[in-house]
């Protein structure tokens, strides 16, 4: 690159290999504090006028973009872009790119870890023993082999999860209206026609779909009631898929036996979030994809997405969330750089 270029990373860190790519390209990298507020983001965008943003933490809405007249590319550090106002970016000619599949295995492993911890009651048993209680008398655990695991969504993370779960003896089914039938055949996974059918026959439900207007509160009071009594809910996708206010009474009544949650409607969740005090709930701070291996793959893809687009190089079209800005000529980038 011949011109001076700044990239803003919304978060305090980035994988060393990804950072090295930025340095090699002669680009100046700036970090925000973790989970930056709108004011912090606007301040950084105004001061440093970046051409690219790597979106890790915090939300990037229209008013944030208006503080960045030089911004050409927002590159998501991951696959889900619900924290980015894609419509606003498109209207302003800002390309939004993502790194699909790069952290899929790590998130799938975390899904299985939450599943086991939740169903096997590892956390409350550990806490009880540390508090001096020997709770063997009266305890009756659950054997997962032979149980049915229902996957809502059948993308890369869900497919990795299916392979790991099958190895544990779980019967895996999945619902995804957008997935090709060949994927189910290749993975030897039974496809169900509706979410309602999946909820009704699953002993454990695991969410792996994007957060869209149509999927917000997909798990609500009605859908929770349609789940099997004493079934379990796992979420390593997006917090907004679950109506937390409806989940709480379902857990307290015992209809839902437990939940493993890596994501929440508000992140970080409020300190007084009642789910934090539920014995049957296992919680982690949205770290399913935060591993060294995943961080390297995601970070490199996120950085490459910005560098290639700013240089006018080709990038796989599946990585571009709003390719229409190129075909309509709205893109702030000088070259199309699409690779079908």
Active site residues: 238, 267, 286
Tell me which residue has tokens 């939004």. Answer: 96
Q: Find the length of the chain.
A: 340
How many CB atoms are closer than 10 A to CB 23?
10
The two structure tokens encoding residue 104: 């899929």
Instruction: Report the greatest alpha carbon distance in the chain.
Output: 72
Classify burial at 27, counting beta carbons within 10 Å of its beta carbon; exposed 0-12, middle 13-18, buried 19 or more: buried
Q: Among residues 305, 304, 300, 306, which one has the least CA distance to residue 14? A: 300
């Amino acid at each position: 690159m011949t011109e001076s270029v700044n990239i803003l990373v919304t978060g305090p860190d980035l994988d060393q290999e990804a950072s090295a790519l930025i340095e090699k390209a002669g680009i100046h990298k700036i970090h925000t504090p973790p989970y930056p507020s709108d004011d912090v983001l606007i301040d950084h965008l105004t001061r440093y006028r970046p051409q690219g943003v790597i979106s890790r933490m915090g939300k990037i809405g229209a008013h944030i973009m208006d503080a960045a007249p030089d911004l050409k590319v927002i590159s998501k550090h991951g696959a889900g872009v619900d924290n980015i106002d894609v419509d606003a970016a498109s209207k302003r000619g800002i390309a939004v790119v993502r790194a699909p599949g790069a952290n899929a295995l790590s998130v799938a492993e975390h899904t299985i870890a939450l599943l086991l911890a939740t169903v096997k009651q590892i956390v409350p048993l550990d806490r009880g023993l540390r508090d001096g209680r020997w709770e063997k008398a009266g305890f009756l655990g659950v054997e997962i082999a032979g149980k049915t695991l229902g996957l809502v969504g059948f993308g890369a993370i869900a497919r990795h999860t299916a392979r790991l779960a099958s190895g544990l003896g779980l019967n895996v089914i999945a619902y995804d209206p957008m997935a090709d039938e060949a994927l189910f055949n290749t993975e030897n996974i039974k496809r169900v026609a509706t979410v309602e059918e999946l909820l009704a026959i699953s002993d454990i439900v695991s969410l792996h779909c994007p957060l869209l207007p149509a999927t917000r509160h997909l798990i609500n009071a009605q859908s929770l009631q349609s789940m099997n009594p004493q079934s379990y809910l796992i979420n390593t996708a997006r917090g907004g898929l679950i109506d937390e206010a409806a989940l709480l009474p379902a857990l307290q009544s015992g209809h839902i036996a437990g939940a493993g949650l890596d994501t929440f409607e508000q992140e970080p969740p409020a300190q007084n979030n009642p789910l934090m005090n539920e014995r049957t709930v296992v919680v982690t701070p949205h770290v399913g994809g935060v591993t060294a291996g995943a961080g390297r793959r995601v970070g490199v893809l996120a950085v490459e997405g910005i560098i290639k687009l700013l240089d006018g190089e080709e990038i796989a079209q599946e990585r571009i969330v709003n390719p229409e800005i190129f075909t309509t000529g709205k893109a702030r980038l000088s070259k199309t750089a699409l690779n079908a």
